[in-house]
Amino acid sequence: MNQFINAQIRSLLEEEDMIAAFSNVSACIKTNYDRLNWAGFYFTKNNELVLGPFQGKVACTHIPFDKGVCGKCYRDKETQKIDDVLSFPGHIACDSDSRSELCVPIILNDEVIGEIDLDSPEKNRFTADEAKEMEQAAVDISKAWIKHNWSF
pLDDT digits (tens, 9 = 90+) for 99-147: 999 999 999 999 999 999 999 999 999 999 999 999 999 999 999 999 9
Asked if 144 and 114 count as a contact pair (C-beta separation under 8 A), the reply is: no
Rounded to two decimals, what is the model's pTM? Answer: 0.94
Closest CA relative to residue 12, chosen from 143, 125, 117, 111: 143
How many structural domains compose the chain? 1
Mean predicted confidence (pLDDT) in 52-69: 94
Q: For residue 32, what pLDDT is reported? A: 95
d(Cα 103, Cα 117) in Å, to the nearest integer?
A: 4
d(Cα 84, Cα 44) in Å, to the nearest integer?
A: 25
Asked if 79 and 134 count as a contact pair (C-beta separation under 8 A), the reply is: yes
> Rounded to a whole number, what is the largest CA-CA distance in the chain?
40
Domain containing residue 53: CATH number: 3.30.450.40
Q: Cite the DSSP H helix spans in the chain.
A: 3-12, 18-32, 68-76, 128-148
SS3 32: helix
d(Cα 39, Cα 89) in Å, to the nearest integer?
A: 22
Range of the domain at 97: 3-148
